[in-house]
Amino acid sequence: MKILETARLALRTVEAEDAPFYLNVVNDPAFIANIGDRGIRTLAAARDAISAGPVAMQASLGFSIWLVELKDSGVAIGMSGLIKRESLPGVDIGYAFLPAYTRKGYAFEAACAVVEHARSVVKLPGLLAITSPDNRASRAVLEKLGMQFDKIVYLKPGDPDDPGTCLYRLALSPNCD
């Protein structure tokens, strides 16, 4: 189901048929380094993760992480959307793109549309975002969106190997056009 469109991109729900793409994204070395290893190694595991994650969240909350495609070709290039995690007090924006599609402005373009969707459709009062302290590219996207660094949070309390995660915030006032 199509959710959003931008000048160059279309964002739609992730479906079981997207398992090969999803498997590639979550096993990309940058994804593993900056977001984490989900342990998804097979198409069956990818289908299960899609069903338990984006499909279930979309059904229960009306939003989730969405697949990002190039509008002119339909080629899947990444994911972006809204996520409600138990470890955070609010909804956060997320994104991940295949290496061939980074540094082209796609993450910012998709994230801008997601922020507007959060404001005008979902009617959220604010958004959170998390990123690895070492992920300069992601931090730059968040700051360009107008998000403000809040603090370092520990998403795995008691884990001595948890280096901490940067938490960003953005207040979403109604659009006054």
Instruction: Report pLDDT for 65.
Output: 98
The sheet that has 65-70: what strands, in order across it? 2-5, 9-12, 65-70, 76-84, 91-97, 126-131, 165-171, 148-153
* 110 close to 80: Cβ distance less than 8 angstroms: yes
73-115, pLDDT tens digit by residue? 999 999 999 999 998 999 999 999 999 999 999 999 999 999 9
Half-sphere exposure of residue 147: CA atoms within 13 angstroms, side-chain side: 27
Q: How many CB atoms lie within 10 A of CB 128?
A: 21
pTM across the whole model: 0.92
Measured between alpha carbons, how far is 49 from 39 in angstroms, rounded to an integer?
10
CATH number of 2-171: 3.40.630.30
Say how many residues make up the chain. Answer: 177
Give the tens place of pLDDT for each residue, 110-158: 999 999 999 999 999 999 999 999 999 999 999 999 999 999 998 877 8
